[in-house]
Amino acid sequence: MTHGAAFSIIVDSSAAGQRLDVFVGARLPGCSRSFAAQLIAGGNVRVNDRHQKPGHRLKTGDAVTGCIPPPRPAGFLPEPIPLAILYEDEHIVVINKPPGLVVHPAPGHYSGTLVNGLLYHCPDLGGIGSELRPGIVHRLDKDTSGTLVVAKNGAALEELNSQFKARTVQKTYIALVHGAMPAAQGTIRLPIGRHPVDRKRMSVASRKTRQAETGWRVRRRFTGFTLLELDLKTGRTHQIRVHCAAVHHPIVGDPVYGKRNASRASRDTSHSTEVNELIANIRRQMLHAWRIGFVHPASGAALTFESPLPPDMQALIDRLECGS
């Protein structure tokens, strides 16, 4: 897919009845269906010289024409935000994101984000991908720390997006959860959707859900807590946090999915006063994106990157190892 390039495609009988966005996404190299829908909604695609909606059904002989516009510069200012860079070349940059840093601009967070810092570090990043998420291939919650890969050019973005879509990217997290897990390892397979009442939360009890799968294995056991390694097989919003809470082992410090357990743990007499105070003062989920593995978008080499645990999480684990 080349920015600024025009295209013209005649619909054959095999594509008759197909949605316009599906057709365009399949015919243009490196074009996803969502990007095709953006092109159509933005007036950059026509059917028989007329604008149509993304869901328009095509007929045999229809002429689909259009032009891929040049990328728009991001509308957010570069900021000299310190970045912990694990790896960088002309195609990608891999970051160890600290807890508390928002990944991309959103209402209430139009500055001080990872994107603002990346635009300062990589001035050419502004034209890669969408205006709000230049170069961002995947995201981490504000208070989740760890490894994040960012594309530095359009070709790298498309290739990495395809790997995430095909679920070939290996993502391993570390989490401290409440309680004792019942086995050494297992898999949580519970579909996830928007919470039926609170639209800011996700839930396994939603009427409209999507398949979600999380593999887990025990790394360490402590009195009242378990340290887990978790592998994401799918990438739903808040997936690990929702899945852990759904099996009654929410992540320590989770302000959304673990409030009841946090209150109970702070009064647990089996822990020392120091441990109870540490847990009571936690203001974020003890969840860390430890390792990511993927294929380099240009060289094809298999790459793996790991981020060390952040200080707050390491301090709590160290205290638990000393005995609770």
In angstroms, the Cα distances linking 164 to 36, 119, 202 are: 18, 23, 21
Residues in CB range of 106: below 8 A, 6 or more apart: 132
Q: Which domains does the chain have, with CATH numbers?
A: 6-67 (3.10.290.10), 71-166 (3.30.2350.10), 171-290+312-321 (3.30.2350.10)
CA-CA distance, 297 to 158, in Å (whole number)? 9
Give the rounded distance of the alpha carbon of 202 from its chain centre.
15
Give the residue with greater pLDDT, 256 vs 104.
256
For residue 266, the 8-state DSSP code is: H
pLDDT band at 270 (very low <50, low <70, confident <90, very high): low
Residue 193 has pLDDT above 60, yes or no: yes
Taking all residues of the chain, what is their mean pLDDT, rounded to a whole number?
88
Strand segments, DSSP code E, in 117-212 are 145-151, 170-178, 185-189, 193-194, 202-203
Give the residue with greater pLDDT, 134 vs 28.
28
Residue 170's beta-bridge partner residues?
293
Residues 295-307 have a mean pLDDT of 97
pLDDT > 90 in the chain, percent = 63
AA identity, residue 99 = P
Residue 214 has pLDDT above 70, yes or no: yes
Residues 148-165 have a mean pLDDT of 91
pLDDT on residue 154: 82
Q: Is 316 helix (H, G, I), strand (E, B) or coil?
A: helix
Give me Rg for the CA atoms of the chain: 23
Residues 245-263 have a mean pLDDT of 84
Q: What is the pLDDT of residues 276-299, one digit of tens each?
A: 777 888 889 999 999 999 999 999
pLDDT > 70 in the chain, percent = 88
Residue 3 has pLDDT above 60, yes or no: no
CA-CA distance, 251 to 263, in Å (whole number)? 13
CA-CA distance, 85 to 150, in Å (whole number)? 11
Give the rounded distance of the alpha carbon of 192 from its chain centre.
15
* CB 20, CB 50: distance < 8 Å: no
Instruction: Give the other-Cβ count within 10 Å of 269's Cβ.
Output: 7
Q: Exposed, middle or buried, 300 (CB in 10 Å: 0-12/13-18/19+)? A: exposed
Active-site positions read 141
Give the residue with greater pLDDT, 46 vs 275.
46
pLDDT band at 266 (very low <50, low <70, confident <90, very high): very low
Residue 130 has pLDDT above 60, yes or no: no
Q: What is the pLDDT of residues 68-115, one digit of tens each?
A: 876 555 557 889 999 999 999 999 999 999 999 999 876 566 789 999
